[in-house]
Structure 1
């Protein structure tokens, strides 16, 4: 399969960079392949340069000489589609969430052509979030799990991250993902409605044909339709929405700390009045 173009990924710290490789597995179906992160283990974590390269790849398709079509994303490694954020990068850069990660999510969510995430391996946390901001998802039936595992390592989901699951998943599935950190294999993910089919790039191309997706971007309103459909996430992913929700998140955390301190004080008084009575 011939390469149409590549978008370089500049180095960042210990990350030496690489490229997003664009191919055309079928007419008007463009596939963007995420390179493996050279840091061990190779698991396609999302960094500022990687996010920017993916956005640039979308720009080339939207504003370049190519006709409207369909975008697929997949991974160059079999074990991982993406294992989420590069936490070192994310923590070191205060602008990472609003101007890099959320901008990437918003670009996919409102892209004026259909998008399909081809999940050839694990998609955890931010990796699954990226896939959820695509229009469709095809998952390997033989390998990989989908999981929102922030609960396991004590990082609360913020509103721009959680809203896409609320909009695209049934309530019981949303609960299993967020409050149980359940891992879904391909069969379970299909049954839960997280993915639209099982397979790889070939099956994704077949779905594109069956649903006539290459025709959907021709009228020029596909992105506008998605902006209306997912207006909650669109607002939360904007820089203005981020600033507002971040302030609300910090107020909520401060309120929770105060609530705990008051509760602990009440319990001390209860135990003191009951002379050490067991609760």
Structure 2
């Protein structure tokens, strides 16, 4: 059942018998590059989810809830609209960082169903979810800033470090821009399952349904657990500024 249908995102309830189960479909062209409008619409969808959670009956809330995001085609997300990001600076990056922090600490479990490539800002968006299921036969997930000549600003580096915890894989990810196929990302520990394309959404939904009861009551408990779990990343996303290596001036 469709809940909101905006130009760049669509939020549905795929199972009317489970009103706190949500599917957010990304549809900003063929690449899902993050613009200010795209970021704003994702935030509007998250607002709607929380409003819906607060309107449920006690019995419905007792089942918990979960959110799955996905897209169609070649890309899950090809990152940021780089030209706009460079031109607009903080007015571009700050809302994007706020979106990542919100998703990172969202009050119900979140699952990314990665249907295609997830590069740079798209990789960070996927990493902001609690769990990731990736199409096995096609698609890479990568942080390719080193190849396109861009440094990482504090919050962006922090979210990658929070989710790719093996030092060797983190080094390869950030210093070489290594493109992880699904099986490699599973081996590295930051993607949970690699599945056939036809099974992708079903596998992600099964994760969501299994995890939903952990948010029983739909209180702030999951939000606060995640906030402390990822405290360093959240703080840097919200207050770390947009200057890479600013602390180096004190050396």
TM-score band by shorter chain is 0.7 to 0.9
Deviation at 1:251, TM superposition (A): 5.9
Deviation at 1:250, TM superposition (A): 4.3
| SS, match of residue 32 in structure 1 | strand
Deviation at 1:128, TM superposition (A): 0.2
Q: How many Å separate the matches in 1 of 2:107 and 2:247?
A: 36
| SS, match of residue 151 in structure 1 | helix
Of structures 1 and 2, the larger Rg is shown by: 1
Q: Residue by residue, what CA displacement relative to the aligned partner does 1:57-85 show, whole Å, maximum 9, x if unpaired?
A: 0111112335551111111x320000000
Of residues 5, 8, 24, the one that matches 1:32 is 24
Of residues 45, 59, 63, the one that matches 2:33 is 45
Residue pairs, 1:99-118, within 5 angstroms: 100-118=95-113
Q: Which runs of 5+ in 2 are unaligned?
A: none
Residue pairs, 1:1-279, within 5 angstroms: 2-6=1-5, 8=6, 18-26=7-15, 27=18, 28-37=20-29, 42-64=30-52, 65=55, 67=61, 68-75=64-71, 77-94=72-89, 95-98=91-94, 100-169=95-164, 170-199=166-195, 200-209=200-209, 212-219=210-217, 220=219, 221-238=221-238, 240-242=239-241, 246=243, 249-250=245-246, 252=248
Q: Residue by residue, what CA displacement relative to the aligned partner does 1:145-200 show, whole Å, maximum 9, x if unpaired?
A: 01111111111112211112212211111111011111111111111112011231
Structure with greater contact order relative to length (CA < 8 Å, sep ≥ 6): 2
CA contact (8 A) 2:139 2:182 kept: yes
CA contact (8 A) 2:68 2:110 kept: yes
Task: Output the aligned Cα RMSD.
Answer: 1.9
Range moving further from structure 2, 56-65 or 66-75: 66-75
The two structures have a TM-score, normalised by structure 2, of 0.86
| SS, match of residue 71 in structure 1 | strand
Deviation at 1:19, TM superposition (A): 3.1
Structure 1 runs of 4+ aligned residues shifted over 6 Å read: none
Q: How many Å separate the matches in 1 of 2:46 and 2:230?
A: 19
The two structures have a TM-score, normalised by structure 1, of 0.78
Q: Which runs of 5+ in 1 are unaligned?
A: 9-17, 257-279
| SS, match of residue 136 in structure 2 | coil
CA contact (8 A) 2:110 2:129 kept: yes
